[in-house]
Chain A
């Protein structure tokens, strides 16, 4: 199936590199540590629920916003160093909708795409005219050339915007939900057009999309986004029901409809909702993490194919993004919010079905202190609780007493070894709860491997 052109794409030079980019408005983090590489000639669909940060990512890539951390590299050069005009000659953006108060004609609109190439006198050469003409014929808007842009239908307007972007002669075309306001006919026309430009003119495309079916049909590579990249692969891997459920929070069916060539995503039938949940393996393991403390454990659990529930994690936390990808269920909390009573109730119910709770060495603050309380309750009900110790902590505390954990350790020693004192930001309340936990029978484990062994036993 992989033809020659597909193979060249795999070895094509990297056009765009998003390197550890984080961004937020007014201290509210929106994107966390985004890592993305796009090669020349690729066609990438960006998926994610509303408010997942897709548009923000596109604005960062187009240079309108500057990343607060990390960098974006275009064609081997930091985007900041390209300058606005330089960026505009390489990256064109097709916005979702364009409100133009003036009565520009279509031809005038398209020729505005030459703006990054013309000097301040505004004189256009024959070459500019030819490029404008070419962009209009490629997008089939020549018959509209003398019409007023505002008086066109949504689909026609969208084509004119693509023509304008094309007149910029971009290497990279960014589209922000290009089909959002269109009916099905124009949606398909639009994506056919984008695909044709990608194939015939070798324009690299990144498009934010809402429609999963159209994404599956037209985009060989999909990036599932939720404040960070949750999955980045072909449609078959990304459009996976469990993954979609965790990211979008709704049950869906994915399959190939009779006579079709591509995956389809459908809402579940009425009767099928029940079947689904029975087929899904029951998770016996619950992971509490946060701030990156659960990364190694969650990866290890996933590698061992042990289903687990993770929670409660804040949107934007790197552990949340990772959990969306690896766990069976994620209990999600709003960005930077303390854990709400509803979420706590959800955790309580989930915990009552599990057999093992693993607490990662996360920082404990007023926001997530409730998690420790919940863990204590669980321990009292006889659920096995493991306290995972950070690797570094065991080494730094290692002065006189050997940190061998055995049956002879007193609870004070265990408390010391749990390293809670170093990450307790609650004036000792967290430490007190950990002490209670240890007295209720929680055990301290020093390595991820030990925790995974314990998880295997109960699964």
Chain B
């Protein structure tokens, strides 16, 4: 008959060593994102001072009326050229990071990333088809074909992988991963075939290479708005799944014991995760590392509870990709490097430092 010697308050426990107060953290990350966005809008082939940017943007809201002391071209550059790209980068980063959290949580696999179960090769095949087709626009003139086919390719492939992996009403994680790997191989073969046989091959290969290395390719606000709506809806759904993801962390059997319809939720997580990935891929090509590393970094700082992990990963991913995109644009300006290069070159060392500095054995 032992008696508990001390009874610490639960509130005190929750604010443990690893966990900062959630509202403060979210606020800090949001501020950081804002600063990074302003910075990104200010740098470029024509540097525009931060103050000017802020005034232009605040005028844009219609609430403020600063007297214009800047060139009209600056206003056009900020609104029509830089902001769509910067906002696009933030959306893509957030979407990939959230999709990474979803897939890592559902598959209980630290190596899972948004592209794991086929969205990358599906999107790439879609893009390859778009590059070899003789026309490049649909919907009149404002929406290019590539993002649409990439989105469709990613979603179709994931659904195909899911239905292949489904055996007798269940979708075991192992078959899901294997089906994803096999499907990736098959689709890459198709992609190579199309590019080799196509009459526009020369042009197609170069375009596809650029697309595959990743880069925020936004041409208009309408694109950003459409993709943004899909991504925001997806993130809202992901947030609703946070309890489910916590329970999945204990394994599928235990999740079932906690009252979860495991198979239904698995399908829902796959749909939401793939939708986010496909939306991101459609305007950015394949950008690696964001979806893999951001969730890990946030878990190391905050612990694994998904209710906090999901929004902070979204903010973290957005900050990360806006910065990477900024670097890609300014390092050897006026030339633009692929963003994927920077996500890997910056992300990997940062992650490794964090990994090594954590004294205990790494648990994600």
Contact = CB atoms under 8 A, between A and B. Distances in A.
Contact of B16 (A93, A100, A105, A140): A105
Given A143-B4, A145-B8, A116 B363 contact: no
A142 B8 contact: yes
Interface residues of B, number: 38
Please classify the interface of chain A as helix (H, G, I), strand (E, B), loop, or mixed, using the class held by over half of its residues.
mixed
Contacts of B251: 98-100
Interface in B233-249: 240, 242-243, 246-247, 249
B344 interface: no
A105 to B, nearest CB: 7
Contacts of B14: 107
Contact of A88 (B2, B259, B305): B259
A100 B6 contact: no
Please classify the interface of chain B as helix (H, G, I), strand (E, B), loop, or mixed, using the class held by over half of its residues.
loop
A104 B7 contact: no
Interface in B219-257: 240, 242-243, 246-247, 249-251, 253-254, 256-257
Given A103-B304, A112-B246, A132-B10, A146 B16 contact: yes
A93 B243 CA distance: 19
Contacts of A145: 8, 13
A89 B259 CA distance: 8
B257 A88 contact: yes
A151 B360 CA distance: 10
Contacts of A95: 253-254
Interface string B278-313: 000000000000000000000100011101000000
Contact of B364 (A88, A102, A112): A102
Nearest to A192: B1
Interface in A132-160: 132-133, 137, 140, 142-143, 145-146, 148, 150-151
- Interface size, A (range): 35 or more
A130 to B, nearest CB: 9
A129 interface: yes
A121 interface: yes
Nearest to A120: B240
A168 B258 contact: yes
B5 interface: yes
B254 to A, nearest CB: 6
B254 A84 contact: no
A108 B254 CA distance: 15
Contacts of B16: 105, 146
Given A115-B258, A151-B360, A146 B10 contact: no
Given A95-B253, A120-B243, A142-B4, A102 B259 contact: no
B256 A84 contact: yes
B260 to A, nearest CB: 6
Contacts of A112: 246-247, 250, 258
Contact of A116 (B10, B242, B258): B258
A85 B247 CA distance: 13
Contacts of B65: none
Interface in A60-94: 62-64, 84-89, 91-93
B261 interface: yes
A64 B304 contact: no
A101 interface: yes
A413 B246 CA distance: 72
A412 B5 CA distance: 86
B257 A150 contact: no
Contacts of B5: 143
Given A116-B258, A142-B8, A151-B360, A101 B108 contact: yes
Contact of B260 (A84, A98, A99, A148): A84
Contacts of B250: 98, 100, 109, 112
B17 A93 contact: no
B144 interface: no
Given A84-B261, A115-B260, A133 B10 contact: yes
B44 interface: no
A118 interface: yes
A85 B305 contact: no
Give the interface centre of B5, B108, B259 by most chain A CB atoms within 10 Å.
B259
B122 to A, nearest CB: 27
A122 interface: yes
Contacts of A120: 240, 243
B304 A113 contact: no
A169 to B, nearest CB: 12
B303 A103 contact: yes
A159 B13 CA distance: 19
B249 A142 contact: no
Nearest to A121: B240
Nearest to A87: B259
Given A63-B256, A107-B14, A168-B258, 7 more contacts: A62-B256, A93-B257, A101-B108, A118-B243, A129-B10, A137-B4, A151-B363
21 contacts: A62-B256, A64-B256, A88-B258, A93-B257, A98-B254, A101-B109, A101-B363, A103-B304, A103-B363, A104-B305, A105-B303, A107-B14, A108-B305, A112-B247, A115-B247, A133-B10, A142-B8, A143-B5, A145-B8, A146-B16, A150-B363
